[in-house]
Amino acid sequence: MTEHDDSRDERLKELLDQTAPDRPDVAPDARVTAVADRARAVRRRQGIAVAAAVLAVVGAGVAVPLALSGGDDSSQQDVADDPAPEVAEPPACPAEPIDVTNGLAVKDLPDGAVSARLCPAAFRTMQGDVDFTLPTEPVTDGVDELLARIRDTREMPLPAECASIMVAPMPWALVVSYPDGASRTVGSTMTTCATVDVGGRQVSVEDVIASVEDAVGESPTTTPVAECPRPGAESGTLVAEPDTFTGDLADLDVTSGAVCYGVDPQGTAEYAETRGFLEGVDLGAVVDDVVAGTTAARSRAFDCIDTGPTRLLVLVGDRGRLTLTDDACSGEFAYAGGFWVPGPAAQAALVGALGGRVGG
């Protein structure tokens, strides 16, 4: 007999004594039944005790975090209801115009910037206010791509016509802001016929400004603005960009206009500036004149023998862009809708946008 058997016999004897102690009169079958019932009762009590112990452990595990949180789940609800962190607004242009008297060079334009913005600037000999026509909306999406385009801008010699024209200054500064509050600034007194130092390389101010204007124009919330194309491969030429609107001009709902001028490489400059913008009354006068004065056929003969000056009138509305071209030395513009010779009011607006005629 093993030790386990001895233990079981002792337990059986204990149960027998508890069930029918000193009861020889109880029949053996009844005695066995009583022993079995007693054993089941003992097992039930043990099971209940074990279950109670398990519940006590689980309850303690729940009670501890509840006690630490103050007895409710409000802290968890607070975490779920916390608002998303606010995105900081891009820095505004400085209250005082940035001084670009001697030009502002920038050693580098590293990636990681949060915004880039064109801002009005000033120079020491500046007389009166200058009408700042560059877009001042911040670029916040694709800033790294914009900086990469500026860094990769090729060094190019200035167009030949820059030596023979007088260009009115429009001081500007490009402010690039970084998350730590630092900034890089590059700028010039001129928007054409000048260069600016970017990383030790002299790049065209027109290319830098055009890159920023393109980036601003890519924003879906930005109102489209008319702008002049970059000069063509040949000096003095302007190549119009393809029209994105070909319907009736009256349906374009024009909101912006630009006048562009390419100097005759074989002649002299006629206008003080090579580009300008039409706004307000002047824009309305030009658009009305185009709508009223367009004809189906040319009314003036070609006067250009070889090369000549080029004028473009770029009109932009909610439905697209339309360009009228005067490249025949006749003063007559051609476009998809026909031909147009500016009337006195419209001609005055075009000349005024280009800073007036050279020599009065």
Pick the more confident residue, 336 or 232. Answer: 336
> What integer pLDDT is reported at residue 3 of this predicted model?
52
Q: Which residues of 113-147 are buried (b: 16+ CB within 10 A; e: fewer)?
A: bbbbbbbbbbbeebeeebebebbebbbbeebeebb
> What integer pLDDT is reported at residue 100 of this predicted model?
92
> What integer pLDDT is reported at residue 343 of this predicted model?
95
Single-letter residue type at 217: G
Instruction: Indicate yes or no: pTM above 0.75.
Output: no
Of 183, 314, 162, 197, which Cα lies nearest the Cα of 249?
314
Residue with tokens 């007194």, as numbered in its chain: 189
User: What values do phi and psi take at 76, rounded to 5?
Assistant: -65, -40
Residue 213 pLDDT > 50 = yes
Of 225, 159, 239, 223, which Cα lies nearest the Cα of 195?
159
> What integer pLDDT is reported at residue 79 of this predicted model?
46
Using DSSP, state whether 51 is helix, strand or coil. Answer: helix
Tokens of 30: 């009844």
pLDDT digits 0-9 by tens, 233-261: 444 567 788 888 888 888 888 999 999 99
For residues 164-193, average pLDDT: 89
Share of the chain above pLDDT 90, in %: 33
For residues 27-53, average pLDDT: 49
Alpha carbons 155 and 211: distance in angstroms, whole number: 15
Highest mean pLDDT among 126-135, 224-233, 276-285: 276-285
Tokens of 42: 């003992």
CA diameter of the chain: 145
The answer for residues whose C-beta is within 8 angstroms of residue 119's C-beta and 6 or more apart is 93, 94, 97, 98, 136, 172, 173, 174, 175
Alpha carbons 34 and 39: distance in angstroms, whole number: 9
For residues 111-118, average pLDDT: 94
Residue 64 pLDDT > 50 = no
Alpha carbons 239 and 241: distance in angstroms, whole number: 6
Alpha carbons 93 and 137: distance in angstroms, whole number: 10
For residues 95-104, average pLDDT: 89
Using DSSP, state whether 102 is helix, strand or coil. Answer: coil
> What integer pLDDT is reported at residue 303 of this predicted model?
66
List beta partners, residue 145: none
Q: Sorting pLDDT into bands at 50, 70 and 90, what band is 53? A: very low
> What integer pLDDT is reported at residue 75 of this predicted model?
45
Q: Sorting pLDDT into bands at 50, 70 and 90, what band is 49? A: very low
Strand-pair category, 172-177 with 310-317: unpaired
> What integer pLDDT is reported at residue 227 of this predicted model?
83
Q: Sorting pLDDT into bands at 50, 70 and 90, what band is 231? A: low
Share of the chain above pLDDT 70, in %: 68
For residues 88-98, average pLDDT: 85
Alpha carbons 61 and 63: distance in angstroms, whole number: 6
pLDDT digits 0-9 by tens, 136-178: 899 999 999 999 999 988 887 777 777 767 778 889 999 999 9
Residue 56 pLDDT > 50 = no
> What integer pLDDT is reported at residue 306 of this predicted model?
58
The answer for residues whose C-beta is within 8 angstroms of residue 160's C-beta and 6 or more apart is 235, 236, 265
Tokens of 50: 């074990």
Of 354, 315, 352, which Cα lies nearest the Cα of 337?
315
What is the chain's mean pLDDT, rounded?
A: 77
Q: How many angstroms separate the first and last alpha carbons of the chain? A: 133
* Range from 110-114, 197-201, 207-211, 237-241 carrying the lowest mean pLDDT: 237-241
Alpha carbons 227 and 258: distance in angstroms, whole number: 6
Please name the residue ranges forming H helices in the chain: 3-19, 28-68, 74-81, 143-151, 205-217, 280-293, 344-353
Residue 35 pLDDT > 70 = no
Confirm if 266 and 276 have CB atoms less than 8 A apart: no
Confirm if 176 and 112 have CB atoms less than 8 A apart: no
> What integer pLDDT is reported at residue 353 of this predicted model?
93
> What integer pLDDT is reported at residue 240 of this predicted model?
80
- Residue 196: exposure state from Cβ atoms within 10 A (0-12, 13-18, ≥19): buried
Q: Sorting pLDDT into bands at 50, 70 and 90, what band is 223? A: low
Single-letter residue type at 89: E
* Range from 55-59, 188-192, 252-256 carrying the lowest mean pLDDT: 55-59
For residues 23-34, average pLDDT: 52
> What integer pLDDT is reported at residue 17 of this predicted model?
55
